[in-house]
Amino acid sequence: MIFSTIKSAVDFYGHIPRYREIFHILFKYGFADVLRLVALQKFLKIEDAQLPVRKSEILNKPLPERFRLTLEELGPTFVKFGQILSSRRDLITDEYFEQLQRLQDEVPPFPSKEARKIIEKEMNRPIDEVFSTFQDEPIGCASIAQVHKAILKDGTTVAIKVQRPDIEKVIELDMAILIDLARFIEKHAPEASALNPVGVVEEFSHTLMKELDFNNEAQNVERFAKQFEGNEDIKIPTIYRDISSARVLVMEFISGTRIDDVALLRKKKIDPIDLANRVTTLIYMQIFDYGFFHGDPHPGNMTVLPGPKIGLYDFGMMGDLSPEFRESIAIMIAGLAEKDHQRTARAIVEMSDEGIAEDQQQMLTD
């Protein structure tokens, strides 16, 4: 017990420089009261003179915009959190949705010189030996990686997903800090304990660390492509395994129209309603037919090809559902459609972590 306590203290003090950085950024954008930061400021020995000047032009911006700018400056871990939050329209207002959507494809790039070095190190050979052309300007930037367009020696156009430099160390540190903060919330805000903040952060951490291994993503793409083999409504890029690695993923280049650009879709004679029906069908197939689904299907990870056909990118975050869980989802949906509250409640209980309720009859009649 004593060794665990000592280790925890050592880990915490090792996080203090990053804590200070986080505090300064939160203060800069007007979030100084988050998590009792005044007390935290004293603990970290940050003097008022050390704090950045809070420029009025920043503080005059709307709160949702400041929230998005804060996540951007805090770095990849927090940007990823914002991206996931942007897909939860049930949790955020339209103003926050509009701002967080920008995190999906407006993340600042890192220098192409760094990208070239990473690619050559991972492939163990010069870029010119593998590609006839390499586009230095990235065509897409995300929280964990950025994508460059290139042409193989045989003329095939490919997209190269390159992991950000030292991203694993950054995320490991941020996740350790988020765990610290989750424990702080559980201890000092009992009303939030029902939300299981530590469990949520641990699950987020597990998912994010898996996403850092591009070999895992390559396996996901191949499995996903196999289950939709022959389906004309979806396009999954081919992976070039022989020139891919844990930090560099080379795949077939596919490009089309953004799925949320309704005006352009109509201009290209693509009916948004028909497209929505196709997407819904594909989602149902992922969940109910296969139980293996894309876990991050925001507009930045989707494109519309002629047909129309749905093209998907970024298979780092995937989900697996057991047959039993799929059955419970189906029962819940049927219960909701038929307004059968008891049936719906039973399905929800079956999908819970415990799978039981102390008094189901009372719950079903409440």
DSSP state of 352: S
- CB count, 10 Å around CB of 189? 13
Dihedral Cα 213, 217, 219, 222, nearest 10 deg: -160
CA distance readout (Å), 107 to 100, 164, 238, 246, 351: 11, 12, 25, 22, 36
Residue 325: which residues within 8 A CB-CB, separation 6 or more?
291, 351
* Residue 253 CA to its chain's centroid (Å): 21
Calpha distance 80→201 (Å, rounded) = 13
Report d(CA 208, CA 145) in Å as an integer.
13
Question: What are the CA-CA distances from residue 14 to residues 39, 173, 329 (Å)?
Answer: 19, 9, 44
User: Token digits for 337?
Assistant: 């459609």
Token pair, residue 261, equals 């650009």
- Counting beta carbons within 10 angstroms of the beta carbon of residue 71, is it exposed (0 to 12), middle (13 to 18) or buried (19 or more)? buried
Q: Which of 91, 90, 72 is nearest to 82 (CA)?
A: 72
Contact 264, 313 (CB under 8 A): no
Q: What is the DSSP letter of 194?
A: G
CB contact at 8 A, 18 and 1: no
Length of the chain: 366
H helix and E strand count, the chain: 16, 10
Catalytic residue check, 128: no
Structure-token match 């494809």, residue found: 105
CA distance 207 to 295: 10
Report yes or no: 103 and 137 within 8 Å, Cβ to Cβ: no
Tracing tokens 């492509």 back to the chain, one arrives at 225
Catalytic member of 271, 296, 320, 359: 296
Catalytic residue annotation:
296
